[in-house]
Amino acid sequence: MKQPSTLLWLLLLPAITGADTNLDKGKYLFQLANCYACHTDTPNDGPALAGGRALETEFGTFYTPNITSDKQTGIGNWNDQQFIMAVREGIAPDGSHYYPSFPYPAYRNISDNDLLSIKQYLFSLPPVKQTNKEHQLNWYVSRLLIGVWKVLNDFSTYQSPAEHRRGAYLLDTLGHCNECHTPRNSIGILQFSEKFKGNKTLSAPDITSGPEGIADWDTEELEDLFSDGALPDGDYVSEHMAEVVEFSTSKWTKDDRQAAIDYLRDH
């Protein structure tokens, strides 16, 4: 009687192992994209990934949504295509536009396979029932205008260069570093002619290889920044960047951190 059970286990083992491997991949991609920091209200000890994190901007206050697998208040009812459309195109399952406080312009270059690995990982985590908060926005901000904003935004500028492909995928796409470190115009469109030159509105510094940026930083100092948030002057990063390090860059592989450093050196 034991032989059929053993045989069944052996037949199922590759599928089980494959599922575990894909969850590991999804978890790592989730960390690369730093989903936790934005979708968890850590300042108020909110439940993991249940949203409610306030994002203060010149357009008003946006509150991040619940991305747990809860079917009533989260994304538990989303199918694969709905997930891809939301993350990559900024379109909700009901057809409405997401505000670009969600960095979907950067995420346009994430592959289907990587997106679905992230979805599988999210759906493996405990659901949390927590209703999304309403945004508190300036009177002139409307979802109806986001469609126009998308037309005005030249998404071709988000294409990653062929050289430093991995570094670009990490910083431009998954890590969405431009969202903070590249300045925007009056309607919130990133100005890629000033790529990585800092954003005074967000107090985000210049991270180019120029004299106002990281020209004087050596590789070890950049590695220290990614791994534990240490700065060359002995201080440490704070506020939002501290969370980027805690929940994202400190978990990157050494090879990925080096790819990111090489990419920064070329800007």
DSSP string, 43-99: GGTPPTT-B--EEEETTEEEEPPP-SS-TTTSSTT--HHHHHIIIII-B-TTSPBPP
| Lowest-pLDDT range of 6-20, 107-121, 187-201 | 6-20
pLDDT for 160 = 62
Nearest-CA neighbor of 118 among 34, 7, 184, 46?
34
Answer yes or no: is pLDDT of 14 > 70.
Answer: no
Single pTM value for the model: 0.88
Residue 58: pLDDT band with limits 50, 70, 90: confident
Answer yes or no: is pLDDT of 257 > 70.
Answer: yes
pLDDT for 199 = 93
Count of Cβ atoms closer than 10 Å to residue 249 Cβ: 22
CB 168 within 8 A of CB 190: no
Give the tens place of pLDDT for each residue, 207-234: 999 999 999 999 999 999 999 999 999 9
pLDDT for 9 = 44
What is the C-alpha to C-alpha distance for residues 184 and 201, in angstroms, rounded to an integer? 9
Answer yes or no: is pLDDT of 23 > 90.
Answer: yes
Answer yes or no: is pLDDT of 16 > 50.
Answer: no
Residue 176 is which amino acid? H
Q: Which residue has the higher pLDDT, 134 or 11?
A: 134
